[in-house]
Amino acid sequence: LRPSLSAVSSAALRQETDSRPLPPGWRSYTSPEGLRYYVNSCSKETTWRHPSLLTESPQRPLAQQNSSPYGKTEPLSSQPTCSSTQFLKGTNMSLLSVISVFLLFSLQINCVTFPLPGESPEQQLLKPNEWSYCDYFWNDKKDPQGTTSVAGFEVLLQKQLKGKQMQKEMAEFIHERIKIEEEYAKNLSKLSLNPLAAQEEGTLGEAWTQLKKSLHDEAEVHLKFSSKLHTEVEKPLLTFRCDNFKKDLKKYDHHIADLRKQLASRYTSVEKARKALADRQKDLEVKTQQLEIKLSNKTEEDIKKARRKSTQAGDDLMRCVDLYNQTQCKWFEEMVTTSMELEKLEVERIEWIQQHLRQYTTLRHETDMFNQSMVEPVDQLLQNVDPAKDRELWVRENNTGDVRPVDMDI
């Protein structure tokens, strides 16, 4: 939509050809009707009048992002302005031309108003260099078939739900790991009680006995490992955010979705009001023309009435845009605070999991080291195995006499 001609002051028409140099920060553009208007990219002012004619405009307070309902948030590098329309504030343009420029500069996608690329001052990221959630999910995302679209916020929520699921699956995985360890321990201690070769004797017998005993100790170590895995890894992974997490997400979801719905309904009102204004303006135009060519004997009164109705329609549109604006601003603010909250939650989740997986490797490492103490005695006894000594021992106990036979006397 273009600015309607009737909205442009005649002053603007006169200044169309103004060729005086522009003060610093100002650039001039041409509307589709060929009218010149001016934009100051620093102060974000827009005007139809040559900026050298403007008296210094008062400093406008920018929307401040001071408190978040979800707790402390990081300071944002640039002031979050609700939308491109904010920079129209404080200019001395007529109401209708404000709306016109608002429409000229912007682009509506799914009822959200975005600045036209290249038409308005560059937007700064709220948190530059951080790839923050609050900067990158303003658009809706089309699914691959292009049939339905998902709100950017929805994408963030899906990430949260997936993260929750991954955390649950990791706990399950650790549980399986624990089961292997427990079964292994059970098998080891069962085997250590096995009577096989219990009757081996001597130094070899001692080493063998120690080896069997070591299996039992080893089993203990694995049992300890499995129980530590349970309390120090599995349980924390399982219980992290188990109570209200999904409910909280739903709350965020409903809140943002409600604002979007409100925005859509206000957008519809704007569209209606815009159409009504166009109709009124056309009516006024027709009546004026009719009077001029004396097609009808419409009186001045009729024209006045039509003009009044047109002005009223303009006011209506203004009011609708303002309401739309307010809702979009609210949505914007909630998007920023909530997406930053989700960002914080994700950082916490990742750090929590990292911490507990580290605990896993520490425990695992400890279990590996156990062997020293368990196997060392076995090693020692094996070193002491001495066939000669064993023979001596055995012979001592089981000999059947060392007196050898001699020749028979006659």
Ligand X SMILES: *[C@@H]1O[C@H](CO)[C@@H](O)[C@H](O)[C@H]1NC(C)=O
Residues that bind ligand X (CB under 6 A): 82, 85, 88-89, 98-99, 102, 180, 183-184, 187, 221, 296-297, 321-322, 325-326, 329, 366-367, 369-370, 372-373, 397-398
Closer of 155 and 363 to ligand X (Cβ)? 363
Closer of 12 and 221 to ligand X (Cβ)? 221
Closer of 132 and 325 to ligand X (Cβ)? 325
The H helix count followed by the E strand count for the chain is 9, 7
Up-side HSE of residue 283: CA atoms within 13 Å toward CB?
17
List Cα–Cα distances, 34 to 1, 31, 37, in angstroms: 14, 5, 10
* C-beta separation of 29 from 37 below 8 A: yes
Core vs surface per residue 328-350: b (16+ CB within 10 A) or e: bbebbbbbbbbbbbbbbbeeebe
Residue 147 CB, nearest approach to ligand X (Å): 33
Closer of 77 and 227 to ligand X (Cβ)? 227
Residue for token digits 């699956």?
169
Closer of 110 and 299 to ligand X (Cβ)? 299
Residue 257 CB, nearest approach to ligand X (Å): 21
* C-beta separation of 333 from 292 below 8 A: no
Residue 87 CB, nearest approach to ligand X (Å): 10
Q: Looking at beta carbons, which residue is closest to ligand X?
A: 325
Residue 102 CB, nearest approach to ligand X (Å): 5
Residue 79 CB, nearest approach to ligand X (Å): 14
Which residues lie closer than 8 Å to 310 by C-beta, 6 or more apart? 277, 280, 281, 283, 284
Residue 164 CB, nearest approach to ligand X (Å): 31
Closer of 81 and 281 to ligand X (Cβ)? 81
Hey, CA dihedral for 127, 128, 133, 137, is it positive or negative? positive
